[in-house]
Amino acid sequence: MREFLFPNSVAVVGASPKADSIGGQILLQLLKSFKSRVYAVNPKYRRGEVGGVEVQFYESATNLPEAPELVVVATPAEITPRVVDDAGRAGAKAAIVVSGGFSEIGRRDLENELVKTAQKHGMRVLGPNCIGVYNAFNGLDTMFLPVEKAARPPPGPIAFLSQSGAVMTAALDWAAGEGIGVGIAVNFGNRADVTEADFIEFLANSKEISVIALYLEGFRWKGDAARFLKVAKRSSKPVVVYKAGRGSDSARAAASHTAAMAGAYEMYHALFRQAGVIEADDLVELFDMAKALAVYGPRRVDSVLVVSSSGGMGVQIVDAVNSVGLRVPELPEEGREELRKYLLPIATVSNPVDLTGGGNNAHFGKALEIGLRYTDAAVVAALIHPPGYNEDVAKEIIDVLEKHKKPIIVVSFGSSPQTKALEEALRSRVVVVNTPRRAARALLAVALYGSKVDHRGGKGGDEHNTSQGVDSGISPPPGGVVPK
């Protein structure tokens, strides 16, 4: 798998000086971003200008000055077996086939020929019918959409594996806007050879990646489920999955889209639970959970502190937290007594803590600092519309985070410049979402993975916390998986 993500050299077969072609766009993007050697292969050209740079074109992969570790194939489907054969004879180890026109339209014979040709040379194939990979660490980017149309996120500890190329493109574009760091992204397309299990196994040993997020429509071969179970279960990194195609109509759509066997959702749900992966209910939640795990790691979370400047939002957060099986316990009298020293007389000092609209930034800090002595994590509704609050509340939250080292999820709801400034100040250190449900589900992921670490005999959280995840009352709500 290394050659797919960290090759020393890349050849684009079907490259073109025309920026409006798929091969031309891939070549242009690689020349701009990839930090190692890039070769253009197309017998139609000898030389051409690409992005203002004069580029030499080669007739075949066999004519290159070195054996490319990775070839990206953007040619008509009918000639891809021959192209891969040339690449194999040239010494290539891996091929990303972006071309479509294979099993997704009934041409399984052509797809089988492609894979057999690669296997003859000991090559692995990603795709076909895919957009390939994005590696923010070394600039390897085979997505054939310019960054002006689809932004790329900054480097980060999340790996995103997607069965759909369009979903991968849209998700990375969204993540870039949210400031979520995605270090590696891979699209499998038809999954004729390489599957998500291969990359989960590789990324579990990657020092750059701490969380693996997966968008899955369905397995293709009978052995895929068993291999996924084996690899995910022993992964040293948390695996979060969003399984699309849960209903009969969407499952049919998924099957026609990437030649996947969608199958009954219940089968996948049982598999995910057995594998100890965490299941998300949609794409945004997938990234919420992944970021929470990347920022906070595994934690033993049972009791949650809720702090808000709005009693109404506090009640909604309590409902959301309870709905995922976590508790919002009343604070002990000693904690309530200390809170009374710092908060307004009209503030509610139990749990949830309601600072009221008359509070200020410092009240947020004190409520968090004191309340987290008695709880495992916090969800904060940072509504800063009243006069005493502003975006500087971010500093109060981060100071408490650094002191307690416990997960804090912030719910921020609004579009004012101050609200946007608050979110921007928090994003790199804290998970920020816009609904109580998103906050609760993100926190659930941290708790579930903490339970898995506990069951493996690892360490999942701060020393004072004696809760034991599953044993302390976390139950598997719809879409949530209690790892075994």
pLDDT at residue 131 tops 90: yes
| pLDDT tens, residue by residue, 400-414 | 999 999 999 999 988
pLDDT at residue 451 tops 90: no
Q: Which residues contact 35 (CB under 8 A, 6 or more apart)?
A: 138, 139
Q: Please state, in angstroms and rounded to a whole number, the distance separating the CA atoms of residues 41 and 27.
A: 10
DSSP state of 227: H
Average pLDDT rounded to a whole number, residues 389-399? 94
pTM, two decimal places: 0.89
Confidence of residue 45 (pLDDT cuts 50, 70, 90): very high
Token pair listed for 244: 């699309």
Token pair listed for 142: 């085979």
Q: Are the C-beta atoms of residues 150 and 169 closer than 8 Å to each other?
A: yes
Class for domain 150-296, per CATH? Answer: alpha beta
CATH numeric code, 297-456: 3.40.50.261
**410 closest CA partner among 432, 393, 428:** 432
Q: Please state, in angstroms and rounded to a whole number, the distance separating the CA atoms of residues 115 and 130.
A: 15
Q: Please state, in angstroms and rounded to a whole number, the distance separating the CA atoms of residues 463 and 285.
A: 29
| Segments making up each domain of the chain, as ranges | 1-129, 150-296, 297-456
3-state secondary structure of 156: coil
Rounded to the nearest integer, the mean pLDDT of the chain is 90
pLDDT at residue 12 tops 50: yes
Tell me whether the CATH fold assigned to 1-129 matches the one assigned to 150-296: yes
If phi over 0 gives left and psi between -120 and 50 gives alpha, with beta otherwise, what is residue 444?
alpha
DSSP state of 343: S
pLDDT of the residue at 34: 96
The H or E element that residue 358 is part of is none
Average pLDDT rounded to a whole number, residues 384-401? 92
pLDDT of the residue at 479: 38
pLDDT of the residue at 220: 81
CATH numeric code, 1-129: 3.40.50.720
Confidence of residue 280 (pLDDT cuts 50, 70, 90): very high
pLDDT at residue 30 tops 90: yes
Average pLDDT rounded to a whole number, residues 54-66? 97
pLDDT of the residue at 96: 99
| pLDDT tens, residue by residue, 293-343 | 999 999 999 999 999 998 999 999 999 999 999 999 999 999 999 999 999
> What is 39-93 written as a DSSP string?
EEE-TT-SEEEETTEEEEEESSGGGSSS--SEEEE-S-GGGHHHHHHHHHHHT--
In whole angstroms, how far apart are CA 13 and each of 9, 79, 87, 97, 125? 13, 11, 9, 10, 14
